[in-house]
Structure 1
Amino acid sequence: MLNVMNKDGTLNEVAGIYCGLDRFEARKKVWSDLEETDLAVKKEPHVLRVPRSQCGGEVIEPLVSKQWFVTMEPLTEKALHAVENGELTILPERFEKWLMAF
């Protein structure tokens, strides 16, 4: 998967001629370029639910990034041991059987 956006909302070198443009400027420029080259098919109004930050209301863009993971095995062993010794109670009890299956 190619990532064309920097963390600051500008486009990176993968975006080619749109590199360095702000994401909103880039969208307008892409559409303008499509119209100028007769590659735009049609333009029509639509409603789009855009995810926004709860704090400031900024638009949240999907961003490809490296993921980090926690090694769960050591945590699982401790949790199982705590359940077996009665240090930890799982409610409802049917979930204890599910946990013990691991």
Structure 2
Amino acid sequence: MPALAGLGNMSHVLAVEGRTSSELLLVVKDAPFRTWLKTEPTAAGRCRLLFGSAVLPQAGSTGGPPRPHWLFRLTERFHIAYAKSLLRAAAADWRRGKRQP
């Protein structure tokens, strides 16, 4: 089963903002979120997936420095816990031999 196959069509939520042969930058439509994905070969001949996400800051209301978006402040702790649980589950699957090709 290809990775992310169970998610269905997410094109109504995500759009490609940038792409190279090994990187993909996705934007959540109508939201200040970006997701970055990159693949790179390892010395063992496998493929490593790197990823990250960002919440873009809002411009300061008085022309001051940008500040975190209110949605970021609201969801930051949930996001950290969710990301850690996903990484733990992926690592556990990897150790048990449920590796995706």
Structures share fold, TM-score greater than 0.5: no
- Structure in which a larger fraction of residues adopt helix: 1
Higher strand proportion, which one?
2
Larger-Rg structure: 1
